[in-house]
């Protein structure tokens, strides 16, 4: 296993290219969205798990600044969540094939419940930091906005910028920078991640400082009581908003299980939970400019996460009953208009076919 880790870390660009190509080709597998798509979905799931393992290997690669440091927790939450998400589609397909459309929601409810438990455990063990990409990306970045004085994930106070993950110097730079982390809602054709390597002189400086400076003690993990005592009502609202975001997919599945996909109750309830959670987050962050007491300020990765959560609202037009009543008609109308145009008509037809097929799967449109 160690030899495989070394190979992945040495050939990360090559590995990412192979993963992107293989994952893109899975959308062209025969019977991808038919009733007997278990085999194609199993291939896709296996490739997704391999990709998650490789990402975990790259993300946990040791650096010079990690010498002597102690990790706040060792359980691979991000890898566990990525694996669960990859398995969830296969579970849905198998359950629907053997137990039918109605019974599959029992299995999906169990899967979503497991993801909720893992995310709540991660939320607690990370000191109640905002979950990035549902917990698949560790929230260990310390890049604050230029005007910020407090960070919502770590609740950073003035003068505490040099913490774990920062260079122990006057620049406050993080030598471990991840770029190109993006998730596509319908496919992962262009998924690609890369890590910027440090210049040789920076490695020498880091090594020298690691020898001269004693290792910093691990930061004390925040608890609910400390958050409430420091942030008061805003702290309670922040915790409630994050719990709503974590549990929203489970609430949605449970109500679909009870009322069915044709009912508007699960659709409106899920949308209401998202709006309430985002409204809470907006309130606790906007209070910084109003009272300047018990304020919160998002870090750069957390601001990106807020934008991502807002983009996920677009999936509501792809969920039943909205899709069946409105979106499908628009797609079919566009296809009919362009079907006589050479090349463009063919591409439009295939795109509509892929979208319609993906919409039949809860896991492709769940945003969880």
From CA 84, how far away is CA 48, in angstroms rounded? 10
pLDDT of residue 141: 58
Tokens of 246: 């974590």
The single-letter DSSP state of residue 186 is S
Nearest to residue 140, comparing CAs of 120, 166, 121?
166
Enumerate helices (H) and strands (E) in the chain, giving the number of each: 12, 2
pLDDT of residue 59: 76
Cα–chain-centroid distance for residue 244? 16
Cα–chain-centroid distance for residue 30? 29
pLDDT tens, per residue, the chain with 368 residues? 777 777 777 777 767 777 676 666 666 655 555 555 787 778 888 888 888 887 878 777 776 544 444 444 468 888 899 899 989 989 999 999 899 889 999 999 999 999 999 999 999 998 899 999 998 888 875 544 444 434 444 444 433 333 333 333 433 333 334 434 433 434 443 343 333 334 444 444 454 554 454 545 455 777 888 888 877 888 899 999 999 999 999 999 999 999 999 999 999 999 999 999 999 988 888 754 455 555 677 889 999 999 999 999 999 999 999 999 999 999 999 988 888 888 898 899 889 988 888 888 899 898 88
Domain boundaries, the chain: 2-365
From CA 182, how far away is CA 25, in angstroms rounded? 19
Tokens of 229: 């005592």
pLDDT of residue 225: 84
Cα-Cα-Cα-Cα dihedral sign, residues 129, 134, 135, 139: negative
**C-alpha distances in Å from residue 183, one per residue of 4, 90, 191, 305, 308:** 25, 19, 7, 11, 9
Q: What is the CA radius of gyration of the chain?
A: 23
**C-alpha distances in Å from residue 142, one per residue of 77, 102, 124, 138, 148:** 20, 45, 19, 12, 11
Nearest to residue 69, comparing CAs of 79, 78, 82, 60?
60
Tokens of 327: 């979106």
For the stretch 7-34, pLDDT in tens is 777 777 767 777 676 666 666 655 555 5
Tokens of 129: 């930091």
SS3 195: strand
**C-alpha distances in Å from residue 241, one per residue of 46, 70, 112, 142, 293:** 34, 30, 18, 22, 19
Tokens of 100: 């039918």
From CA 106, how far away is CA 91, in angstroms rounded? 11
């Amino acid at each position: 296993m160690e030899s495989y880790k070394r190979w992945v870390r040495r050939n990360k660009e090559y590995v990412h290219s192979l993963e992107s190509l293989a994952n893109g080709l899975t959308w062209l597998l025969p019977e991808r969205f038919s009733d007997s798509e278990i085999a194609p979905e199993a291939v896709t799931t296996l490739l997704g798990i391999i990709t998650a393992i490789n990402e975990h290997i790259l993300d946990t690669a040791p650096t010079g600044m990690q010498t002597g440091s102690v990790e706040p927790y060792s359980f691979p939450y991000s890898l566990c969540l990525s694996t669960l998400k990859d398995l969830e589609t296969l579970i849905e397909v198998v359950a629907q094939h053997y137990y039918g459309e109605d019974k599959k929601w029992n299995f999906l409810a169990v899967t979503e419940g497991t993801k909720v438990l893992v995310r709540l455990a991660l939320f607690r063990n990370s000191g109640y930091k905002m979950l990035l990409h549902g917990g698949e990306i560790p929230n260990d970045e310390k890049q604050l906005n230029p005007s910020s004085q407090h960070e919502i994930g770590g609740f950073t106070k003035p003068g505490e910028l040099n913490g774990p993950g920062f260079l122990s110097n006057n620049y406050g730079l993080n030598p471990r920078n991840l770029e190109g982390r993006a998730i596509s809602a319908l496919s992962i054709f262009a998924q690609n991640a890369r890590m910027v390597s440090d210049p040789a002189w920076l490695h020498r400086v880091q090594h020298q400082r690691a020898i001269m400076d004693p290792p910093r003690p691990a930061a004390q993990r925040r608890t609910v009581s400390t958050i409430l005592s420091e942030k008061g009502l805003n702290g309670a609202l922040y915790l409630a908003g994050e719990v709503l975001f974590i549990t929203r997919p489970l609430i949605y599945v449970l109500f679909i299980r009870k009322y069915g996909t044709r009912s508007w109750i699960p659709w409106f309830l899920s949308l209401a939970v998202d709006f309430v959670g985002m409204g809470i987050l907006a309130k606790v962050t906007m209070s910084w400019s109003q009272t300047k007491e018990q304020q919160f300020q998002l870090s750069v990765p957390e601001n990106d996460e807020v934008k991502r959560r807002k983009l996920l609202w677009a999936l509501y037009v792809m969920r039943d009953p909205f899709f069946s009543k409105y979106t499908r008609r628009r797609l079919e109308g566009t296809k009919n208009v362009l079907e006589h145009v050479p090349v463009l008509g063919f591409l439009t037809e295939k795109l509509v076919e892929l979208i319609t097929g993906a919409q039949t799967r809860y896991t492709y449109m769940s945003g969880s």
